[in-house]
């Protein structure tokens, strides 16, 4: 459980409150006073005044894209009278840095703004949704927008005293998780609303962001996902397909099959399933690849990243991670090939290459030298 307190609000409050923050536009970076390196994006409605308390929505993005998250809710916030803040530091990974980022954002917004502590909400996407739901369990939040993920492997708490707006793209590999969450919340009588949208693993679109804030305000009613036998069958097919792909001897051929089905023009259960399988397998391979790299099990990590690049052949960072794993495993030729592919896909961080000790054995190779000169 994520225990976050609203401490530190006395940070030179009189000085901070005197600051005239712009209204009506997304501020990409507001530095947290007394917390070097911590910042958040912020949206204040045009009629914001410190003369009354305001509800606030705290956004948590898995890649610390605070501005992107805040922008998704900005129009709705203007209409409904919400403040919106999004951490530029909270991201997927170890819990403690995320906790520190949330605490810094909480303290600074409370020092600068007049916030109604009874109407604090959080919104998260993917790992950020899981983090927001964990945060809400301590009782300090009135509601959560969970986009693209639910509670995950952690057990759904016995008592849920906050509202939940759960949203998933129909092509999202986590769609089935959120559907099942909605059915369980409905069984328990938890106040929530389920919404789906055209798309994959992403933040909910702006119209649903507006609906979520209206739901928190009681102007949109609760609505659970409808019980559907076909959805339960599709979820079972998804689980089997992901395992089949992980165990396949010829993964390239099977990925080609799923890619062809996923590229069909007409929406269908088959197209949705194909996109879910490819997306879910790529994410799982990347997550396992990162864990294995951390454990220095480079050969096993390389197998996961090889699978990931088959699914995401245009992702520079996936190729870079593959190069790390192959270099650590002693496969210099494949490591250099992966670096070449990373550069072709847009990788340009030459200083990162210079700092990476796993690439030391490659630096005498003319092909590596050519790569480094190409991205000076």
* pLDDT score for 8: 41
309 and 328 housed in the same domain: no
Tens digit of pLDDT per residue, the chain (376 long)? 566 554 444 444 433 553 579 999 999 999 999 999 999 999 999 999 999 999 999 999 999 999 999 999 999 999 999 999 999 999 998 899 999 999 999 999 999 999 999 999 999 999 999 999 999 998 899 999 999 999 987 689 989 999 999 999 999 999 999 999 999 999 999 999 999 999 999 999 999 999 999 999 999 999 999 999 999 999 999 999 999 998 888 899 999 999 999 999 999 999 999 999 999 999 999 999 999 999 999 999 999 999 999 999 999 999 999 999 999 999 999 999 999 999 999 999 999 999 999 999 999 999 999 999 999 7
Structural domain harbouring 254: 228-313
Query: What's residue 20's pLDDT?
Result: 77
Helix axes of 95-112 and 127-136: crossing angle, nearest 10 degrees: 70
- Tell whether 199 and 91 lie within a shared domain: yes
DSSP secondary-structure letter at 48?
A: -
Given 216, 251, 283, which residue is the final one in a domain?
Answer: 216
Together in a domain, 325 and 248 = no
Count of alpha carbons within 13 angstroms of residue 57, beta-carbon side: 35
* Residue 93: per-residue pLDDT: 86
Which of 259, 279, 313 is the last residue in one of the domains? Answer: 313
In a domain, residue 222? The reply is no
The answer to the question of residue 52 being in a domain is yes
Residue-level pLDDT at 7: 44
Sheet arrangement for strand 163-169: 26-31, 39-43, 83-87, 54-60, 115-125, 143-147, 163-169, 192-197
For residues 172 and 158, state if they share a domain. yes
Q: Model confidence over 143-153: pLDDT tens digits? A: 999 999 999 87
- For the stretch 34-48, what's the b/e string if a residue is b when 16 or more beta carbons lie within 10 angstroms of its beta carbon? ebeebbbbbbbbeeb
Residue at 3 is within a domain? no
Residues in the chain: 376
The pLDDT, as a whole number, for residue 281 is 96
The rounded Cα 133 to chain-centroid distance in angstroms is 13
* CB crowding 266-295: b at 16 or more within 10 Å, else e: eeeeebbbbbbbbbbbbbbbbebbbebbee
Torsion of CA 294, 299, 64, 57, to 10 degrees: -90
pLDDT at 364: 92
Q: What is the pLDDT of residue 249?
A: 87
Same domain, 293 and 368: no
pLDDT at site 14: 35
Domain of residue 45, CATH code: 3.40.50.1820
* Same domain, yes or no: 176 and 87: yes
Domain boundary among 269, 287, 313: 313
Q: How many domains does the chain have?
A: 3
Q: Name the residue with tokens 């092909």.
A: 367
- Count of beta carbons in the 10 Å neighbourhood of residue 68: 17
């Amino acid at each position: 459980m994520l225990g976050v307190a609203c401490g530190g609000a006395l940070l030179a409050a009189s000085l901070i409150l005197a600051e005239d923050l712009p209204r009506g536009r997304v501020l990409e970076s507001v530095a947290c006073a007394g917390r070097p390196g911590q910042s958040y994006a912020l949206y204040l409605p045009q009629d914001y005044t410190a003369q009354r308390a305001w509800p606030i929505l705290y956004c948590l993005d898995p890649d610390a894209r605070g501005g992107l998250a805040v922008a998704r809710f900005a129009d709705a916030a203007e209409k409904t009278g919400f403040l919106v803040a999004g951490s530029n530091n909270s991201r997927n990974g170890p819990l403690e840095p995320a906790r520190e980022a949330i605490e810094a954002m909480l303290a600074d917004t409370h020092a600068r703004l007049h916030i109604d502590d009874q109407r604090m909400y959080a919104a998260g996407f993917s790992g950020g949704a899981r983090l927001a739901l964990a945060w809400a369990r301590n009782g300090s939040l009135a509601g959560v927008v969970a986009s693209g993920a639910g509670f995950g492997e952690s057990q759904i708490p016995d008592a849920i005293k906050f509202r939940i707006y759960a949203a998933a793209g129909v092509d999202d590999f986590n769609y089935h998780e959120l559907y099942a969450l909605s059915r369980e919340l409905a069984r328990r009588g938890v106040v929530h609303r389920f919404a789906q949208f055209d798309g994959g693993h992403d933040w909910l679109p702006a119209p649903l962001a507006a609906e979520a804030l209206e739901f928190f305000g009681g102007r949109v009613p609760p609505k659970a996902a409808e019980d559907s036998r076909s959805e339960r069958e599709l979820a079972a097919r998804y689980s089997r397909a992901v395992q089949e792909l992980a165990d396949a001897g010829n993964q390239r051929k099977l990925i080609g099959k799923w890619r062809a089905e996923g590229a069909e023009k007409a929406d269908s259960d088959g197209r949705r399933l194909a996109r879910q399988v490819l997306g879910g397998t790529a994410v799982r391979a990347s997550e396992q690849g990162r864990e294995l790299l951390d454990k220095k099990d480079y050969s096993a990590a390389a197998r996961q990243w090889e699978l990931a690049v088959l699914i995401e052949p245009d992702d520079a960072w996936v190729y870079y991670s593959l190069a790390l794993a192959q270099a650590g495993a002693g496969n210099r030729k494949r490591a250099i090939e992966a670096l070449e592919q990373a550069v072709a896909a847009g990788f340009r961080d030459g200083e990162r290459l210079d700092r990476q000790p796993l690439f030391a054995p490659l630096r005498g190779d003319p092909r590596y030298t050519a790569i480094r000169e190409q991205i000076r």
